[in-house]
Amino acid sequence: DLMVFHPNQDATRAEVAAFFYQSLLLLGKVEAIPSDYILQVFPAGPIREGTRISINGKTRAATWNQWSNGLLARTAIADAGLIQGMGIDLLNTENPSQQPVQWFSLPIALPVQRHNHYRHLEITNWRKQQSLTMSVNGDTLAIAKPMTNVTGIQIENLFEGDRAIGLRLKINLTEPTPYQLRQDTFDWQVTLDAAIKQSILDDYQNPSTVTPESTRPSSEEVNEGEVIADTSQPLRPTITADPQHLLIQGNLPPGLSVKAITQTNPYTLILEIRPDIPRNRNILWLPGLRWKEEYVSLGSDRFPITSLTLSPNQTPKLNLEPIWTYSHTMEGTTPLLKMGEFCKTLAAINAGFFNRNNRLPLGAIRWHGTWYSGPILNRGAIAWDNQGSTAIDRLTLEEVITTSTGGQFPLVVLNSGYVKGGISRFTPQWGKSYTPLTAGEVIIVVENNRVTRHVENAEVTDIPDTGYLLVLRSLSSAKASLMPGTTITLESTTNPSNFNSFPHIIGGGPLLIKNQQIVVDAQAEGFSRAFAQQSAIRSVFGITNSGELILVTIHNRIGGLGASLTETAELMQKLGAIHALNLDGGSSTSLILGGQMINRPPSTAARVHNGLGIFSHHYG
């Protein structure tokens, strides 16, 4: 029915001819004519997919796919790509099959499609409303938007009472336009695909936007959360342009962030640089996986918190598993975003501690019933299975070897970068080989439960596939009892013993909450006094009374430092946790979802050794 397409006017001869041609094509009565002016019809099913998008010529990594409903091609792009490449804002929703978005318009709901380990948003109809054209070049989906013009720029101070706390910029536009916002530790920039008259531009060029480095704290201190918020105002931003792009750059005093907001009538991009950017996100991102951003108060302090809540009994099931940098070795660190991409997680949070120098783990990692790194110092750990059972406590792995000659020796650590006098054990899960961590180590090679040789003064020793290495540090007396040919029996158990039955364990510390009670005792878990007393950015794992698992990041309070350990426990109680464990924090604190970091700019996050990943085989 042509009236569906043109309800208010008669069809042209060309439209009538095209309509009959498409009808005959669908009936198989004519062959398809190759032409850019004739709509291509695809059989139902997948058409193509890729890993890059180009928006007005600027290319970035983002997955996309196209499929057919039996008539027309449909297109969907990872929500992270639309956020970072177009500037769309995701709005709150309780419907995981529809994602409301805002982009220079009233909210519109985009259909959600799961593609591998990403969440894609279908833009087929939306892109037509926004006058976006698309083409495919190999792995890249190219999107183009007609040129927009800037009609005016206003800049004003933001006040809290009589005190200026930030800046607001308003950029008026003739049409909606893609924009990209980037934040780093000390500066920010926004790029718009828009042209601007020189008369408007002249008023805003070349003020100083660089904070003298001599007055800056170090980026490490800022990213760890160890610097109190700066009370200085952000400087007036610089605005430059070429014929097709507008670039706005500004400085970012510690404690301030940038928020972008779009409006219609007139089309406007608003940028606010302030310490308390709005945080009211509550998105049911997938069935059983909720993304929240909020402020939580303790007394007069407000802490910005980003969290993912996992319902383990949801169908289809979402699983939580430990992840780490490389599958073949326990040595190595990488940004959590790259780790999540390599492991194909839906979401992830950084987890256990590690040695930043040699990049080795310092805590428990158990995956599918196998120890990849053992617990140390009786520190807090969490254990879980994929049926909803959990345990949380301070954890010790107790291993003892008994020789055929009656000798018995306790082992101090398993597959760990933690160095302690005694005998340590290293299995193939550590990697193909072992490099001594201290001078003077004696290495006992055990294969098929029998000592085969001793190694001393070696740079590298291979770990046998059918055995392990015993590394003697300051326990040379054991060497005589572990001569080649000696048979060894190994006994291994956890304390508490209920951890033995769980397939997955990750260590952190200190333990924050157990059975609804705050139980913080950092020094009892081998942490330094300085660590116990510091305020910092935090990563936390929590369990609610209903069995939900909460992955939480807590950043600096508004106008102040990060949370102390006790404050972290109190905040977790406010989030509903009855058990909670502190994880590695500071610049390590990272929370990713669908290929994007959702708690901080990626450039401010450090490399990490391991994490907790959320998976679903149903979604890829």
Cis peptide before 496 (omega within 30 of 0): yes
Q: Residue 24: which H helix or E strand, with range?
A: helix 13-26
Could you please report the per-residue DSSP string of 117-134? TEEEEE-HHHHHHTT-EE
Q: Residue 470: which H helix or E strand, with range?
A: strand 467-473
The whole-angstrom separation of Cα 589 and Cα 337 is 12
**Count of CB atoms situated within 10 Å of the CB of 133:** 11
396-495 CATH choice from 3.30.2420, 2.30.30, 2.60.40, 2.60.120? 2.60.120
CB 306 within 8 A of CB 553: yes
Ramachandran angles phi, psi of 581, nearest 5°: -130, 130
CB 580 within 8 A of CB 516: no
The whole-angstrom separation of Cα 287 and Cα 129 is 29
C-alpha distance from residue 116 to each of 595, 602, 607, 614 (Å): 12, 23, 25, 13
As beta bridge partners, residue 440 has none
The whole-angstrom separation of Cα 392 and Cα 565 is 17
Mean pLDDT of successive 10-residue segments in the chain (620 residues)? Answer: 48 70 66 58 84 96 92 91 97 98 95 93 94 94 95 92 92 97 94 93 62 60 67 86 92 93 96 91 97 98 98 85 97 98 97 98 98 99 94 98 95 98 98 97 98 95 98 88 97 98 98 99 97 97 97 96 98 98 98 97 96 79
Q: Residue 337: which H helix or E strand, with range?
A: helix 336-343
Percent of the chain that is helix, strand, coil (3-state, to 5): 15, 45, 40
pLDDT score at 28:
63
In which residue are the tokens 């006058």 written?
131
In which residue are the tokens 């439960």 written?
449
**Count of CB atoms situated within 10 Å of the CB of 497:** 9
148-207+224-274 CATH choice from 2.60.40.3500, 1.10.260.40, 3.40.50.720, 2.60.120.10? 2.60.40.3500
The whole-angstrom separation of Cα 604 and Cα 341 is 18
Q: Which pTM was predicted?
A: 0.90
The whole-angstrom separation of Cα 557 and Cα 550 is 20
The whole-angstrom separation of Cα 240 and Cα 247 is 5
CB 305 within 8 A of CB 572: no
SS in 3 state form for 535-548? CECEEEEEEECCCC
Q: Residue 221: which H helix or E strand, with range?
A: helix 219-224
CA 615 from chain centre, in angstroms, equals 13
Could you please report the per-residue DSSP string of 564-575? -HHHHHHHHHHT
User: Is the dihedral angle over the CA atoms 93, 96, 102, 107 positive or is it negative?
Assistant: negative
**Count of CB atoms situated within 10 Å of the CB of 208:** 10
Could you please report the per-residue DSSP string of 519-536? ---TGGGT--HHHHH--B
As beta bridge partners, residue 253 has none
Residues 6+ apart with CB under 8 A from 300: none
Q: In the chain, where are the structural domains located?
A: 1-41, 42-144, 148-207+224-274, 281-394+500-616, 396-495
* Start-to-end C-alpha separation, the chain: 40
Length of the chain: 620
H-state helical runs in 76-172: 79-85, 124-129
Q: Residue 341: which H helix or E strand, with range?
A: helix 336-343
Question: Where do the DSSP E strands lie in 287-431?
Answer: 289-298, 301-310, 319-324, 347-350, 354-355, 360-361, 365-367, 370-373, 380-384, 390-394, 396-403, 408-411, 413-414, 422-426
CB 282 within 8 A of CB 230: no
CB 449 within 8 A of CB 489: yes
Using only C-alpha atoms, what is the Rg of the chain?
A: 29
The whole-angstrom separation of Cα 438 and Cα 456 is 12
